[in-house]
């Protein structure tokens, strides 16, 4: 009996010194909430990137259209306009051409990115069909 007493005391002593080392699993509800949180954070990041790219595309598209309109004004409408064009108009025409090319290049890149983001979103939603987006407005 004395040995049982010492064994219990030793066990209690080790538990207080080392901490309670017993294994405990979390509740299923808590695990499900953790999983939902992880999925939501990934989906939210994809939706934020998609929204930002669409906003950039919309704004850039308007600016490119504006530059195209201004370039048309400096270009003139005469058949021999390029022969009599002022040097300043030619300079602006070159600048507009560069800006238009850069804008159109970026619009192509954005269109590709938007397509990829939409694919990622669709893949996430197909892999986690039970997931309900927290903010369905995106």
Please indicate, yes or no, if residue 118 is contained in any of the structural domains: yes
Please indicate, yes or no, if residue 123 is contained in any of the structural domains: yes
- CA end-to-end span of the chain: 70
Contacts of 88 (CB under 8 A, 6+ apart): none
Please indicate, yes or no, if residue 7 is contained in any of the structural domains: no
How far apart, in whole angstroms, are the C-alpha atoms of residue 96 and residue 72? Answer: 10
What six digits make up the tokens of 108?
A: 């192509």
Q: What number of helices (H) and strands (E) belong to the chain? A: 4, 0
Per-residue confidence (pLDDT) for residue 46, from 0 to 100: 96
Please indicate, yes or no, if residue 15 is contained in any of the structural domains: no
Best CA proximity match to 107, nearest among 57, 52, 50: 57
Per-residue confidence (pLDDT) for residue 23, from 0 to 100: 63
Average pLDDT for runs of 10 along the chain of length 138? 64 65 76 90 96 97 88 63 62 81 96 98 92 61
Please indicate, yes or no, if residue 110 is contained in any of the structural domains: yes
What six digits make up the tokens of 55?
A: 């906003």
Please indicate, yes or no, if residue 42 is contained in any of the structural domains: yes
> How many residues are present in the chain?
138
What six digits make up the tokens of 53?
A: 């790219």
Best CA proximity match to 58, nearest among 107, 21, 24, 15: 107
Per-residue confidence (pLDDT) for residue 97, from 0 to 100: 86
Helix (H, G, I), strand (E, B) or coil at 87: helix
Please indicate, yes or no, if residue 21 is contained in any of the structural domains: no
Domain span at residue 101 reads 27-127
Per-residue confidence (pLDDT) for residue 123, from 0 to 100: 95
Number of domains into which the chain is organized: 1
């Amino acid at each position: 009996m004395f040995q049982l007493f010492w064994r219990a005391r030793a066990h209690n002593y080790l538990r207080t010194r080392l901490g309670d080392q017993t294994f405990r699993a979390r509740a299923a509800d808590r695990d499900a909430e953790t999983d939902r949180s992880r999925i939501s954070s990934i989906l939210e990041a994809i939706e934020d990137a998609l929204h930002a790219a669409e906003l950039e595309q919309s704004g850039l598209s308007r600016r490119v259209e504006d530059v195209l309109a201004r370039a048309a004004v400096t270009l003139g409408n005469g058949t021999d306009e390029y022969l009599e064009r002022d040097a300043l108009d030619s300079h602006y025409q070159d600048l507009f051409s560069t800006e238009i090319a850069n804008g159109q290049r970026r619009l192509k890149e954005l269109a590709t990115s938007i397509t990829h983001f939409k694919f990622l979103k669709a893949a996430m939603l197909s892999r986690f069909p039970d997931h309900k987006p927290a903010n369905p407005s995106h």
